[in-house]
Amino acid sequence: MLRILTATALTATLAMPAMADNHASSDDSAMMNDDTAMMEMDNLIRTRDITGGPIYSIALNYDETMWTDAEPATYSTEIGTETNRIGEIEDIVLNESGQMIGIVAEVGGFLDIGDKHVMIPVEDLQLTAVDDRTYSYVTRLSEEQLEEMPAVDESWMN
């Protein structure tokens, strides 16, 4: 009986450092995951910082190579010099996987009279920062091209 108690006590004593070491490793990896998540959060943009923002067109100065060579989701032009404000971002459109496929834009009209809501596909858009907290989109399409697109409304999405 004494042998069994001694063997049990010895086994428990030897196992404690291994469990403590395993616990410390999981704490370290949790801290590393938190640091990684914080670094990734610095690069995230919230939709509230986009919706309601302006849409600009570069159709008058459109250059295919400049458009296709730009980094994804960034367009380096000074808003106002080569752009024309043509509408407002009403909504962000996602597919079933959660990937952005376009935006709903309000174009045309004056004081919400005669305006039209259209969906601009993501391949015709580039995101640009207005300042540290707000963003707008630049499109290579003209206002006339957007006004010729089919209208979308709430029933279109359902």
Instruction: Write the pLDDT tens digit of every residue in 115-158.
Output: 888 999 998 988 887 777 778 888 888 888 888 888 887 665 55
Q: How many CB atoms lie within 10 A of CB 81?
A: 7
Question: How much of the chain exceeds pLDDT 70, in percent?
Answer: 51
SS3 content of the chain, % helix, strand, coil (to 5): 40, 25, 35
How many whole angstroms separate alpha carbon 107 and alpha carbon 144? 9
User: Residue 11: is its pLDDT beyond 60?
Assistant: no
Distances (CA, A) of 153 to 62, 92, 105: 29, 13, 11
Q: Output 34 or 113, whichever has higher pLDDT.
A: 113
User: Residue 90: is its pLDDT beyond 60?
Assistant: yes
Full-model pTM: 0.61
